[in-house]
Homo-oligomer: A and B are copies of this chain.
Amino acid sequence: MRVIAASTRPAKITRRALAKQQTREKVLLAARQLFTERGYEGATIRDIARAAGMSTGAVFASFADKSELFGDILTADHAALTEAMSDAAQGKTTVDSALMAMFKAGYDFHYPQLPLFAAGVAVSWTWTESSEQRNREAVRPIRDLILQQLRAGVERGELVERHDMRLVASTLWDTYVRSYRRAVFDGWSSDDLQTLLRDQVALILAGLRA
């Protein structure tokens, strides 16, 4: 009897947890689409609930507010991006080719949802300190991947550690993020951005060449 009860209970919890998870995913999917179409300010929780086919109360049962919902989308994207960038850098034998493969993976990832990317950068300038901390945690693995490639370049004798490598990684990441302005406002293609970024990577690494 006890054994049956014990084995039934986790199953019930799992079903409930599964339903909750499915609700979250429906909300996130609807929110992602609306943020992409209307930007962060243009999409309300009411719009998102309607698009997901549920009440605003059901949305609030899963997310404290719009900012948490948006933060969850950004965090999920950063996790997916970390994986895509890590895969892309595999087997590359120079710093430049590894970094450019990573950044290309980033462009491939964000190009289909450029307005969402722009909304993410926009919101990141005015959100709360806790949102900022959360986002830094999500971006850190990507900066670490960049740092790893720089250190591999030093080990191969391609680069010399003349500057703080964390600062170099940050400067590269910032330059990559900034490059999206050309996509958003000038309609530049991913190839155009890669050409621009290749020059900027060359500039930033120039003083570190062995």
**Which residues of A are at the interface with B, using a C-beta cutoff of 8 A?**
39-41, 115, 118-119, 121-126, 129, 132, 162-164, 167-168, 171, 174-175, 178, 181, 184-185, 196, 199-200, 202-209
Contacts and interface: CB of A to CB of B under 8 A. Distances in A.
6 contacts: A39-B126, A119-B126, A122-B123, A167-B200, A206-B206, A206-B208
Number of copies: 2
Contacts of A163: 199, 202-203, 206
A132 B126 CA distance: 19
A167 B196 CA distance: 9
A162 B99 CA distance: 21
A68 B175 CA distance: 29
Contacts of A122: 122-126
Contacts of A200: 167, 171
Nearest to A173: B178
A125 B164 contact: no
B162 A206 contact: yes
Contacts of A125: 118-119, 121-122, 125, 181, 184
Contacts of A204: 171, 203-204
Contacts of A39: 126
